[in-house]
Amino acid sequence: MTAVHPVLIDVPMPIRTPRLLLRPKQPGDGALTAAAVAETWEDLHQWMRWAENPHDFTSERMEIRTRQMMASFLLREVIELVGVETATGQPVVWCGFHDIDWSAGLCDTGYWVRKTAQNRGFATEAANALVRYGFGQLRVNRIGLTHSAGNEPSRRVAEKLGFIREGIQRAANVLPGGRVADRCCYARFDTVGLPDLELTWNQS
């Protein structure tokens, strides 16, 4: 896609939607994330491989990870964002881009919503914004999305946003407790047909 070194790629932030401000992680987010993980533990432990032991998600450990992700953002290795509900100032969704291949213009996206903010469309709104940002600002060619079979909320988001289902990778996702699930794979290649969404981001 580009011969520019990744650290020179502009990633203007934040991204604003009607209800959300999506921003990179910043100092102090560790305690906020730890609280959100604690209240959402039942869901995360069911579907997220990293949610194995609740004792691993202290405020201190989350702050360490937050600052590591800040460094990864500057290096353009991973783009992890926090979605803050503008009406309340509370963080409600964690999302971003991972497995980024800048030379090929490929990346994957993902999201999770804290328990007290679920069933309000935040995952769909955040993912819609990320798809538009990925193709509009980052100029990627493909955005992938995967979820474990049985994760119906993630399936519904993928379908609402018109992701193309590419197939199933059998027993490809390892879940907490050593459980194994099929991986459902989706992708989008442009913004055509996305649900309408007003958004802006700071232009460089």
Number of H helices, E strands in the chain: 5, 9
Over the chain, what is the mean pLDDT? 96
pLDDT tens, position by position, 14-34: 999 999 999 999 999 999 999
The number of domains in the chain is 1
**CA-CA distances (angstroms) from residue 139 to 9, 71, 117, 135?**
11, 22, 31, 5
Domain span at residue 19? 13-141
pLDDT at 204 over 50: no
The answer as to whether 182 is a domain residue is: no
The answer as to whether 154 is a domain residue is: no
For the segment 92-120, the average pLDDT, to the nearest whole number, is: 97
> What CATH number did the domain enclosing 66 receive?
3.40.630.30
